A and B are shown apart, each in its own frame.
Chain A
Amino acid sequence: MNLEALRGKLSYQGLLLGGSALLTSGALAMAAYITSADIEAAAAEDLKQSLAQVLPSQYDNDLLSDSVTLPGPGGEVTVYRGRRAGRVEAVVFQVAGPGYAGPIACIMGVDRDGRVLGVRVLRHKETPGLGDKIEPAKADWIHSFERRFLGDPPADQWAVKKDGGVFDQFTGATITPRGVVKAVKGGLEFFEHERGRLLDEVKS
């Protein structure tokens, strides 16, 4: 049949729109089906990598399958535990602090004595060139938490220097590091508070 004449018909418009919608949503559904396993594997690999960054030493269990979920400062917190010979040596969990442009999500590792093993920023929307110095690729600042605990520095000095604390702020960006310091401090307080359950020494 003549395509030109067919295109003018009203029913053709409807069929064309319907056909396009069917075709595109079919393609998307198929692609989602094909890629979902790989995307999940990639996300798990990402999580494993970020866990490894804040947990420097080796553990003999699979961290991803040894987790406990507890009520924390900002809702439920999933804590992954690293064990050696069955004893919990370190825990990893996510914390969030208020940034300049939305929450800053961090992941932090804490050893069984309450010392910070490492902190990494997972997601943030801070100003490029100013607030993004919290990323280890841009500056060393995030390493300044390592080996610290509540007591070194004392609780009231867990703040940026401008607020009377010990942590550096950035030129032109104080709110960003303040948010990260607050998040890490909150994480340590959460650890102290839930210590027994986190270390699997009190049955919950």
Chain B
Amino acid sequence: MSYARIARDGLWGNNVVFAQMLALCPTLAVTSSATNGLGMGLATTAVLTASNVLISSIRHLVSAEVRIPVYIAFIATLVTLVDMGLNAWVHELYKVLGLFIALIVVNCAILGRAEAFASKNGMAASAVDGLMMGLGFTAALVVIGGVRELLGSGTLFANAHLLLGPAFAFLETTVIPQYKGYLLMILPPGGFLAVGFLLAGKRLIDKKLAERETVAAVPQATAG
């Protein structure tokens, strides 16, 4: 499988949230703002890439019958190690990301990629897959968080400096000044609404793309 294909699958075609419909629990839980989505996405990307490489490196040793408990043990250990390491040595970052790190354990996308990709492919391809799936997940979370934050409180990337440092304070924008706020979008139902409408949007785009492809393919078919 080519790297370009892996990248396209991860970012769009087989996107964790909008195509595989995995990891919905952390998705709905943390996307009350674009900044939270970004933090969760980046933390997941790091763990997903590392876990894919790890699983790929032991794939010949693990037998099919007991692979799930073995994968779970390794992934849970990896997440816990990251959690402890951040807490001990990068405490400032941990105070911001700590909540997200613990939530990664419940992210079935990690086990999903271990099972669907890393257990069948080499380490380099698995690393790229983990990175691309992670970035696709990050993009999805930022978009969902952005929509909810914009409609819910009229801002975008509020408190980004707490996550990325003061240099990124420029990201924080108040899109609608004096906005009264639309509470529903920040509460859990808003998460379902945003995911639902964005999902419908992606399906529409995919349908349009597929139609254009068939139209473009027809003359070629007659010519060939």
Contacts and interface: CB of A to CB of B under 8 A. Distances in A.
Interface stretch (A73-81, A124-132, A174-182): A124-132
Interface in A1-24: 3, 7-8, 12-13, 16-17, 20-21, 24
Given A8-B63, A13-B63, A38 B77 contact: no
Contacts of A16: 61-63, 66, 70
A38 B84 CA distance: 10
B74 A39 contact: no
B77 A172 contact: no
Contacts of B69: 17, 20
A21 B88 CA distance: 24
A27 interface: yes
Nearest to A135: B159
B80 interface: yes
A64 interface: no
Interface in B11-69: 32-33, 36, 60-63, 65-66, 69
A138 B32 CA distance: 15
Contacts of B162: 137
B74 A129 contact: no
Given A8-B63, A17-B70, A20-B70, A32 B91 contact: no
Interface string A20-49: 110010011001101100110010011000
Contact of B89 (A7, A8, A38, A46): A38
A35 B88 contact: yes
A171 interface: yes
B135 interface: no
Interface residues of B, number: 34
B153 interface: yes
A28 to B, nearest CB: 6
A129 B88 contact: no
Nearest to B81: A31
Contact of A129 (B63, B65, B91, B152): B152
Given A42-B87, A127-B186, A129-B32, A171 B181 contact: yes
A3 B74 CA distance: 21
A165 B181 CA distance: 26
A134 to B, nearest CB: 15
A196 B180 CA distance: 48
9 contacts: A3-B60, A3-B61, A7-B63, A16-B63, A17-B66, A32-B84, A39-B84, A127-B183, A129-B153
Given A35-B87, A130-B186, A172-B181, 4 more contacts: A8-B63, A16-B63, A17-B66, A39-B88
